[in-house]
Amino acid sequence: MLTARLSSRLLIATALLLMLIGTRGHHFASLHHLPSASWAVFFIGGLYLARRGWFALLMASAVTLDLLAVTIGGVDNFCVSPAYPALLAAYGSLWLAGRQAAQALSISGFSGRALLACGGWLLAGFASCELLSSGSFYLFSGHFSQPSLSEFGQRLLAYGPANLQSLALYSAGALALHGALHGLSVGRRLKA
C-alpha cells in the first residue's frame, strides 16, 4: 500500500477538505464553478489516507457542507431526499477503489502497468458510485413517478460523462503531482 507519514497524511487530508469545500455543488463561492471534486476526494482519500477515520471525516464534511448549503446557504434541497444515505455506499465504493489502486501502485510503483491498473480501479469506482448514487436517487428520491430502465439509462448517459471527467481529471492531477514529487525525491537521493 502507498504509505505516507502523519505530516503528509495531514497535508493530503487538508488539501482534500479544501477541494471538497471549494467545489461541492456550487454551495459556496467558487472559482467560476469548478466541477465538483467530491468523487475524486474519496478516490484520492482511499489512495493515500487508508484509515476509515479519514473516510468518516471526509464523509461528515460532505454532509455538513450539504446541510449548511441547504439550511443557511440558500441552495435548493432537491438532492437531499430519502436516497441521500446511499451516498455513504457510493463514496465508500470510490474509497475502496482508491485502496485497490494504492495496492497496485505500491507493488509496481509508477510503472505503466500500475497506472493502467489504477485507471481500471478508478473506472470501477466510478461505475459503482454512479450506479449507487444515481440509481438510488432515481428510485428512492420521490422525484420520479414512474421509473423505467430506459429513462435511467438516458440519465446515466446524460450525467455520467461529466462525473467521470471530473473524477478522472482531479485524480490524474493528484497522481501527476505524486509522480513529480516522487521524481524530485529520487533525484535528491541520487545527488546525495
pTM for this structure?
0.88
pLDDT digits (tens, 9 = 90+) for 49-91: 988 999 999 999 999 999 888 888 777 777 788 889 999 999 9
pLDDT digits (tens, 9 = 90+) for 150-169: 999 999 999 999 999 999 99
**Neighbour count for residue 54 (Cβ, 10 Å):** 18
Task: Tell me if 46 sits within 8 A of 98, measured CB to CB.
Answer: yes
Residue type, 8: S
pLDDT (0 to 100) of residue 27: 44
Q: Spell out the residues 6+ positions from residue 158 whose beta carbon is closer than 8 angstroms to its own.
A: none
Q: Could you tell me the three cell numbers for 28?
A: 459556496
pLDDT (0 to 100) of residue 88: 96
- pLDDT higher than 90, residue 46: yes
